[in-house]
Chain A
Amino acid sequence: MDALLLSRIQFAFTIGFHILWPTFSIGIACYVACLSGLWWRTQRTVYRDLMRFWSRIFAMGFGMGVITGVVLSYEIGTNWAGYSRAVSNVIGPLFMYEVLTAFFLEAGFIGIMLFGEGRVSRGVHFFACCMVALGTLFSATWIIATNSWMQTPAGAVADAQGIFHVTDWWQVIFTPSFPYRLMHMVCASFLTGAFVVAGVSAFHLWQRRHLRTARTAFSMAMWAALVLAPAQIMIGDMHGRNTLEYQPTKLAAMEGLWDTGKGVPAVLFAWPDMDEARNRFAVEVPHLASLYLTHSWDGEVQGLKAVPASDRPYVPIVFFAFRIMAGIGIALLATAITGLVLRLRGRLYETRWFQTVAMAVTPLGFVAVIAGWTVTEAGRQPFVVYGLMRTADAVAPVSAGAVSATLIAFFLIYNVLLLTFFWFGARTVLKGPEGEPAHEAWRARPGPDRSAVGLATNPSLQTPQSGFQPAPGE
């Protein structure tokens, strides 16, 4: 394999792994901020216990996001020097603003969010949580602006050497696909977060432990899912129609549509054959694709054959990833509606089979996010800047041997990271969100007179933290 293909695999792997954590952080940061605010205003300890529990889990996911994100900010240079040379005038400031407005905001307040409870007032803690949540949203905004510029470039022109120069910053940031992509990603993060909270709470309900916190969290998560799941499907529909207008080839690959036509069918299943430029084993519903893409029975949709074969993406990846994403969206909507039905019948917290369902769908949001990004990134190929710059011209002058070595190392390290996260995440979940009174006793004002001697008697340091403890008071 050459350095180009290896670099593509490495970047796809590292960014695909990374996107799991921002998805998680965006959703959970907002949830923790919400809990901190509720604890501050209502004084109900259930919110405090949930806040502490979820900020422990958030800390792990956030850490994973930070360290895997640092990698990306350098990988664009190490592996994609041709790309950064061509587009640095455009995307450079966007990345810089991401660091300035988002990463520093998160980093500046995460310490207070995680460790500051005894040192600052509840109001200040709530403020810090909001700043962290806002940071995750700012970060998403800038990075989606950059990605959207690569999908639907505007506001910049390339010179004879292929270097892009900005003519209008407003157009660079607010490209045609930006608002839809941003809404789709943020809503996906909230939805995924809601189902993570629902899954963990369902596990506690299923175990019949931590019932007080689990009920509150489960209820909050199912309300959120009920709003977010249909919203996400609506946003996805808008995003799809935007893609039809600005990236018709990608949309044709998503739909498995080879010939331009009116009243085109929706392909439920097929094997897109790249060599013969047709679908095998196709199962189709007539007119349906025209109906949902153009909202008219006989609307025209452009097919893949409208562009030469060298300008088409690898269709099967885009085609199947899109079906996975859309299928999961429908499954999550069905789960949210089932939750509503059970709630109206007053059986939301007691229905055992539904708890199993809620646990089972927990990872699906992440799968859908990966699938969705696969659709949009693989569907943009063979271009790195859609229609203007080819991925083959973006690669850096690095040797295939060096990239192979780092790719193997990334693969091993990231898998160990994931296992470690699951290990400690599972332990935290098993331990549950019960309040820890030791914490309150250690509320001391900051000052220079404290000595470390007394710390040896801190009970929380001497008790070995076993994973599974029977919860008191149940």
Chain B
Amino acid sequence: MDLPLLFALVAAGAVVIYVLADGFDLGVGILFLFAPRDADRDMMMASVEPVWDGNETWLVMGGTLLLAAFPAAYYVLLPALYLPVVFMLFALIGRGIAFAFRLQTVRFRVVWDVVFAGGSALAVFCQGLILGGLIGGIPMQDGMYAGGAFSCLTFLGVLCGAGLVGGYALLGAGWLIWKTDGATQVFAREIAHAALILTMGMMVLVSGWTALTEPEVARRWFEGWHLLYLAPIPLLTLGVAAGLWKSLWSEWEVGPFLLAIALFLLGFSGLVISLWPYVVPWQVTLWDGASDPQTLGFAVFGVVLVLPMVLAYQAHAYWVFRGKTRHLDAYGTQ
């Protein structure tokens, strides 16, 4: 059994779950200040309150999975991406603490609104910078990172950041259309249009810019007949985006959320095609960067035995809070 490959699939799965799950609650944060009324904000926060902690745990899972299975990625990428990673953590601290304290205050609630929204947006933007730095490649020497503190901050990263802010906002809006009703839902339907436009614009720009500046990526997409096999991905993306646009005012309330997920999956598959099989792009493949066989052999029990249980009770937590959100599901109202 090719354990590095198995763990690469698990890591990819963890990243996808993280991006989709924390994506919608970060997206709700991005949209937070745009909502017209305080009542909308209360509802928006209540809709993600019982589940955000579990969602963010996938970020920790991703980090520890890298450390356990692909240490090369962990100890090269994290110093390389030091500033965006740490500032993402600062931002996550801010928004995480806003969950605990926002409803406890009335006079200073606006401060927490800003902390929650600003933290969410900054965290997502930093993730975009991380993604851009990753695609741009990491300078290495003697198996360690060999660049400066700011080498990871690129124009591509800024584009990715804007794209992710749009994409997460779209997920968040889709979640709100599904989980809320009344004025909050109307607000979500309206703002989803802007989020979709931003997402699609940035997807096009990021793809174009990457193809122009990264010869390795361009080769994969445009060499020989590759584009013919790969054409379904951009075409499907356009189709999904069109369907999403139409679904925004439809009766199908879960539709926008599902289609936004589909959009993310297509974008992620494009990313995998561009970067496969590198864990440190253009430097370390997943087989070179994997940890010892006896380490993977020990970790695989967790993946095979424990991970399905985790998925089961996470699903159960979502099931308990199914249906439209009620204000009862919030800190401070118990």
A, B: real partners: yes
Chain A interfacial positions (CB closer than 8 Å to B):
52, 55-56, 59-60, 63-64, 66-71, 73-74, 76-79, 81-82, 84-85, 88-93, 95-101, 103-112, 114-120, 165-167, 169, 396-399, 401-402, 406, 409, 413, 417, 420, 424, 427-428, 436, 439, 442, 444, 446-448, 450-453, 455-456, 458, 460-461, 464-465
A16 CB to closest chain B CB (Å) equals: 16
- Chain B residues numbered 79-97 whose CB sits less than 8 Å from any CB in chain A: 79, 81-83, 85-86, 89-90, 92-94, 96-97
Is B323 a contact of A446 with CB atoms below 8 Å? yes
Given contacts A63-B99, A92-B69, A115-B49, contact A399 B149 (CB under 8 A): yes
Is B51 a contact of A74 with CB atoms below 8 Å? no
How far apart sit A92 and B303, CA to CA, in the bound complex (Å)? Answer: 13
How far apart sit A97 and B306, CA to CA, in the bound complex (Å)? Answer: 9
List the A residue with the shortest CB-CB distance to B61.
Answer: A99
A56 CB to closest chain B CB (Å) equals: 6
- Which residues of B lie under 8 Å from residue A399 when comparing CB positions? 148-149
How far apart sit A60 and B77, CA to CA, in the bound complex (Å)? Answer: 32
Is A70 a contact of B334 with CB atoms below 8 Å? no
Is A88 a contact of B68 with CB atoms below 8 Å? yes
B60 is contacted by which of A63, A70, A79, A119 (Cβ under 8 Å)?
A: A70
Is A396 a contact of B79 with CB atoms below 8 Å? yes
Given contacts A100-B302, A110-B53, contact A77 B65 (CB under 8 A): no
Given contacts A63-B97, A100-B310, A118-B328, contact A76 B67 (CB under 8 A): yes
How far apart sit A200 and B321, CA to CA, in the bound complex (Å)? Answer: 32
List the B residue with the shortest CB-CB distance to A427.
Answer: B104
- Which residues of A lie under 8 Å from residue B104 when comparing CB positions? 424, 427-428, 465
B295 is contacted by which of A78, A89, A107 (Cβ under 8 Å)?
A: A89
Main secondary structure of the interface of B (DSSP, over half): helix
Main secondary structure of the interface of A (DSSP, over half): helix
How far apart sit A78 and B78, CA to CA, in the bound complex (Å)? Answer: 5
- Chain B residues numbered 118-134 whose CB sits less than 8 Å from any CB in chain A: none
> Which residue, A60, A74, A104, has most C-beta atoms of chain B within 10 A?
A74
Is B96 a contact of A66 with CB atoms below 8 Å? yes
Is B299 a contact of A448 with CB atoms below 8 Å? no
Q: Is residue B234 contacting chain A, with contact meaning CB distance below 8 A?
A: no
Is B334 a contact of A96 with CB atoms below 8 Å? no
- Which residues of A lie under 8 Å from residue B77 when comparing CB positions? 77
List the A residue with the shortest CB-CB distance to B328.
Answer: A442
A84 is contacted by which of B59, B74, B292 (Cβ under 8 Å)?
A: B74
Is B295 a contact of A115 with CB atoms below 8 Å? no
B331 is contacted by which of A92, A114, A427 (Cβ under 8 Å)?
A: A114
Given contacts A66-B53, A424-B104, contact A452 B184 (CB under 8 A): yes
- Which residues of B lie under 8 Å from residue A77 when comparing CB positions? 63, 66-67, 74-75, 77-79
- Which residues of A lie under 8 Å from residue B96 when comparing CB positions? 63, 66-67
How far apart sit A93 and B100, CA to CA, in the bound complex (Å)? Answer: 31
Is A115 a contact of B334 with CB atoms below 8 Å? yes
Is A74 a contact of B78 with CB atoms below 8 Å? yes
How far apart sit A245 and B42, CA to CA, in the bound complex (Å)? Answer: 57
Is B295 a contact of A74 with CB atoms below 8 Å? no
Is A73 a contact of B306 with CB atoms below 8 Å? no
Chain B interfacial positions (CB closer than 8 Å to A):
39, 42-43, 49-51, 53-54, 56-57, 59-61, 63-69, 71-72, 74-79, 81-83, 85-86, 89-90, 92-94, 96-97, 99-101, 104-106, 143-146, 148-149, 180-182, 184, 291-292, 294-295, 298-299, 302, 306-307, 310, 313-314, 316-317, 320-334
Given contacts A450-B324, A458-B327, A464-B106, contact A78 B306 (CB under 8 A): no
Is A402 a contact of B83 with CB atoms below 8 Å? yes
- Which residues of B lie under 8 Å from residue A452 when comparing CB positions? 43, 180-182, 184, 324-325
List the A residue with the shortest CB-CB distance to B329.
Answer: A115
> Which residue, A64, A165, A398, has most C-beta atoms of chain B within 10 A?
A398
Is B294 a contact of A465 with CB atoms below 8 Å? no
How far apart sit A232 and B27, CA to CA, in the bound complex (Å)? Answer: 46
A69 is contacted by which of B39, B60, B81 (Cβ under 8 Å)?
A: B60
Is B86 a contact of A406 with CB atoms below 8 Å? yes
**5 nearest A-B residue pairs (beta carbon):** A77-B78, A111-B50, A88-B71, A92-B68, A107-B54
A420 is contacted by which of B71, B101, B181 (Cβ under 8 Å)?
A: B101
B161 CB to closest chain A CB (Å) equals: 18
Is A111 a contact of B54 with CB atoms below 8 Å? yes
Is B79 a contact of A97 with CB atoms below 8 Å? no
Is A409 a contact of B144 with CB atoms below 8 Å? no
Is B328 a contact of A99 with CB atoms below 8 Å? no
A108 is contacted by which of B82, B292, B299, B310 (Cβ under 8 Å)?
A: B310
A344 CB to closest chain B CB (Å) equals: 37
How far apart sit A234 and B101, CA to CA, in the bound complex (Å)? Answer: 39
Query: A70-B56, A92-B299 provided; 18 other pairs, C-beta below 8 A?
Result: A60-B100, A66-B53, A91-B67, A96-B67, A96-B68, A96-B69, A103-B57, A104-B57, A108-B54, A112-B50, A116-B321, A119-B320, A413-B93, A420-B101, A424-B101, A447-B323, A452-B43, A461-B333
- Which residues of A lie under 8 Å from residue B90 when comparing CB positions? 409, 413
- Which residues of A lie under 8 Å from residue B42 when comparing CB positions? 461
A433 CB to closest chain B CB (Å) equals: 11
Given contacts A448-B323, A456-B39, contact A112 B71 (CB under 8 A): no
How far apart sit A128 and B145, CA to CA, in the bound complex (Å)? Answer: 44
B264 CB to closest chain A CB (Å) equals: 22
